[in-house]
Amino acid sequence: MVGIFAVMSFLEEIARRRTFGIISHPDAGKTTLTEKLLLFGGAIQEAGAVKSNKIKKTATSDFMEIERQRGISVATSVLAFLYKDKKINILDTPGHKDFAEDTYRTLTAVDSVIVVIDVAKGVEAQTEKLVEVCRMRSIPIIVFINKLDREGKDAFDLLDEVEQKLGLTTVPLSFPIGMGYSFQGIYNVWKENIQLFDGDSKTKIGASASFDSLEDPALETAIGKTAKETLDEELELVREVYPRFDREAYLNGNQHPVFFGSALNNFGVQELLDCFVDIAPPPQPKSSEERRIEPDEDAFAGFVFKIHANMDPKHRDRLAFIKIVSGTFARNVPYLHVRHQKKLKFSSPNAFFADKKEIVDVSYPGDIVGLHDTGNFKIGDTLTSGEQIHFKGIPSFSPEHFRYINNADPMKAKQLNKGIDQLMDEGVAQLFTLELNGRKIVGTVGALQFDVIQYRLEHEYGASCTYENLNVHKACWVEVQEGGEADFAGFKQTKAKFLAKDKQGQLVFLADSAFSLQMTASKYPGIRFHATSEF
């Protein structure tokens, strides 16, 4: 009997989980939305708006000092809260294109996403790229059109833009009553009720006028005859033009619910959250190189999708974030680190509730757990109960920007080396050491990452560095084909000053131009050049 209850509670725990990412172009209000979801979930009592350089109460999800200063998110935050008996795990991602690599990796750990779009700017370039990744992976998408209290595009124009630019099939599940200065509230298509907002309460959930029916005569009195007539006409159009919501189509990535609101003013956020907990998928299966792993399997399996050094600079702690795919993860139980082929156990696995870390005894599929790491993990590593599993699709990008990194304070060489070593493990950048003279080169996907590295080295490790520009077109990992030893010897001799080793000791060719790379590849056919280290 106990066994049946244990199985039931395991399956119930899986069904309770909702793990999703929030993605958008910078400044669309993504971090503010995260903040308000935590507020409605009761995880925090007061929200901190994210405003560049004017932060009074800092946003919960932007915990790194540089994020507080610049008002942008540069690292994915992991946050959890309970709402209506559902355990919700949010991964708030960076919007800035220079940090897209972190976002792409995070999308391997989510079961659905919410895309935030600014009412005035509409669909922007970074949003298009991120949605394309979600569509390739058939991740269910909900769209939240934000900042309705500001003057912006017409609701129908925005829906058209989402359909045309993002290739989504939209189904409005809430609809605005007026826009900009005339914005008065939201008609909730999902629950068929109306919420009117006064806009006074930005940090706490304030009481708002609500109506259960469009036919309520008090509604016309509250919003005015013209606004009521416009709303009736627009809702008639919504019913005629857009399909009815079909959860199966949404889960398969073929239909995309749209909500309207203003995260800053708490408009429309609860409508989004109430619908999300009803329709969003529970933890999903994940493909590995060996087989497909189902969440309800007894054996534990999970993978590292993010590493963060110095979560708390006072303690110099480094956390590896693991998404649990199947089974349960328990503290003090040994699990197999597949790449190292050794068993590890963890005495204090962390879960994240808003801005608090808590030690958890047992975690379930869908959960994100932070494991204290002394250098055992790298991104993409798998932990299992013993099975040899390698999860697929955790991307590693070839850097596009390269600079020499120099020590600006000879007294702090040890701190600099330690800082560079740990920050590179996070996957924010890659380190190459020249074979010829041992000089260190940092390669990043975006130029802004150099500032972040410099800032974090100084503030978290007490080390200071300077950069020197370097003309490198691409870093290519070198693979010697069968019988290509003579070509390899000639290549090493001719290109000696362009050869470096990466952090794992693999040989890398730093090509100074596309032409040079092409000529080298044709001159030495016994060598293959790869844009990523996983070939």
> Which pLDDT tens digit goes with each residue over 316-345?
567 888 999 999 999 999 999 998 899 999
Across 363-377, average pLDDT:
87
Instruction: Choose among 329, 343, 337: nearest CA to 300.
Output: 329
Taking the alpha carbons of 288, 427, 364, 259 in that order, is the dihedral positive or negative?
A: negative
> The domain 17-279: what is its CATH number?
3.40.50.300
> Which pLDDT tens digit goes with each residue over 389-429?
988 766 556 677 899 999 988 888 898 888 888 777 776 68
Instruction: Choose among 141, 130, 115: nearest CA to 29.
Output: 115
**pLDDT-derived band at 208, boundaries 50, 70, 90:** low
What is the reported pLDDT for 182? 79
Query: Would strands 301-309 and 382-384 be described as parallel, antiparallel, or unpaired?
Result: antiparallel
Q: Reduced to 3 states, what is the DSSP secondary structure of residue 100?
A: helix
What is the reported pLDDT for 533? 66
Q: Is pLDDT of 188 > 50?
A: yes
Tell me how far apart the alpha carbons of residues 509 and 117 are, in angstroms, rounded to a whole number. Answer: 40
CA dihedral 253, 257, 262, 264 (to 10 degrees): -40
CATH architecture for the domain at 286-384? Beta Barrel (2.40)
Are 407 and 474 spatial neighbours (Cβ–Cβ below 8 Å)? no
Domain ranges of the chain: 17-279, 286-384, 401-530
Across 169-189, average pLDDT:
87
Instruction: Choose among 478, 484, 487, 483: nearest CA to 528.
Output: 478
What is the reported pLDDT for 203? 46
Return the residue matching tokens 């209290």. 149
Instruction: Choose among 151, 188, 207, 143: nearest CA to 169.
Output: 143
Other beta carbons within 10 angstroms of residue 339's beta carbon come to: 15
Return the residue matching tokens 């040994």. 334
User: Which two tokens mark 233?
Assistant: 């006409």
What is the reported pLDDT for 336? 94
Tell me how far apart the alpha carbons of residues 197 and 209 are, in angstroms, rounded to a whole number. Answer: 7
Return the residue matching tokens 């955790």. 394
What is the reported pLDDT for 58? 44
Which residues 6+ apart lie within 8 Å of 290 measured at CB? 387, 388, 389, 390
Q: Is pLDDT of 148 > 90?
A: no
What is the reported pLDDT for 256? 95
Top pLDDT among 524 and 151 is at: 524
Cα of first residue to Cα of last residue in the chain, in angstroms, is 50
Across 142-146, 327-331, 370-374, 398-402, least confident range: 398-402
What is the reported pLDDT for 43? 55
Across 151-162, average pLDDT:
89
Q: Is pLDDT of 100 > 70?
A: no
At residue 370's C-alpha, the angle toward residues 367 and 376, to 5°, is: 125
Q: What is the mean pLDDT of the chain?
A: 81
Q: Is pLDDT of 42 > 50?
A: yes
At residue 299's C-alpha, the angle toward residues 295 and 302, to 5°, is: 65
What is the reported pLDDT for 353? 67
What is the reported pLDDT for 23? 84
What is the reported pLDDT for 305? 85
What is the reported pLDDT for 507? 92
CATH architecture for the domain at 401-530? 2-Layer Sandwich (3.30)
Top pLDDT among 203 and 308 is at: 308
Percent of the chain with pLDDT over 70: 83
What is the reported pLDDT for 44? 56
Top pLDDT among 150 and 117 is at: 117
What is the reported pLDDT for 82? 87
**pLDDT-derived band at 5, boundaries 50, 70, 90:** very low
**pLDDT-derived band at 55, boundaries 50, 70, 90:** very low
Angle, helices 125-136/155-166, rounded to nearest 10 degrees = 60
Which residues 6+ apart lie within 8 Å of 66 measured at CB? 74, 451, 452, 455, 456, 459
What is the reported pLDDT for 453? 85
Top pLDDT among 79 and 362 is at: 362
Q: Reduced to 3 states, what is the DSSP secondary structure of residue 167?
A: coil
> Which pLDDT tens digit goes with each residue over 229-239?
888 898 899 89
Are 296 and 326 spatial neighbours (Cβ–Cβ below 8 Å)? yes
Q: Is pLDDT of 90 > 90?
A: no
Q: Is pLDDT of 141 > 70?
A: yes
User: CA of 353: how far to CAs of 94, 356, 411, in Å?
Assistant: 19, 5, 40
Q: Is pLDDT of 196 > 80?
A: yes
Classify residue 180 by its DSSP letter.
G
Q: Is pLDDT of 1 > 60?
A: no
Top pLDDT among 54 and 252 is at: 252
Q: Is pLDDT of 250 > 80?
A: yes
At residue 100's C-alpha, the angle toward residues 97 and 105, to 5°, is: 175
